[in-house]
């Protein structure tokens, strides 16, 4: 099977499973899934977040997702339990479609590692 087709199938499986669990079946978009990963990585699952914290959660997720690609490196966890990353390499300038593919690939790899999908 072509790599693109496998990525598409795995992505659709992730969207299906997460949507069933978190949005009563309404399909979650890429940003919503990134947000959920940020909440998971923070580990404060029972907490309500303000808008500025939601952006911080998405940043945590993006850093975590792009660490295996060499763009970020985990640095430390602060006194409030928030993980911090440092930039190892600047992200290349990508077109919107290329950014989406990179993030979907990173998300698929994240959920493969956590055994949410296989």
The domains of the chain are located at 3-113
pLDDT tens series, the chain, 118 aa: 677 899 999 999 999 999 999 998 799 999 999 999 999 999 988 888 888 899 999 999 999 999 999 999 999 999 999 999 999 999 889 998 999 999 999 999 999 999 999 8
Q: pTM for the complete prediction?
A: 0.92
pLDDT at position 1 is: 61
Indicate the burial class of 64 (C-beta count within 10 angstroms; 0-12, 13-18, 19 or more).
buried
pLDDT at position 47 is: 84
């Amino acid at each position: 099977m072509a790599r693109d087709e496998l990525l598409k199938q795995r992505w659709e499986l992730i969207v299906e499973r997460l949507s069933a669990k978190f949005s009563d079946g309404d399909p979650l978009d890429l940003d919503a899934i990134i947000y959920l990963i940020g909440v998971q990585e923070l580990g404060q699952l029972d907490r309500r977040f303000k808008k500025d914290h939601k952006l911080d959660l998405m940043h945590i997720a993006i850093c975590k997702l792009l660490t295996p690609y060499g763009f970020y490196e985990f640095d430390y966890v602060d006194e409030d339990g928030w993980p911090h990353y440092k930039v190892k390499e600047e992200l290349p300038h990508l077109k919107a479609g290329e950014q989406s593919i990179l993030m979907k690939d990173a998300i698929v790899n994240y959920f493969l590692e956590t055994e949410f999908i296989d």
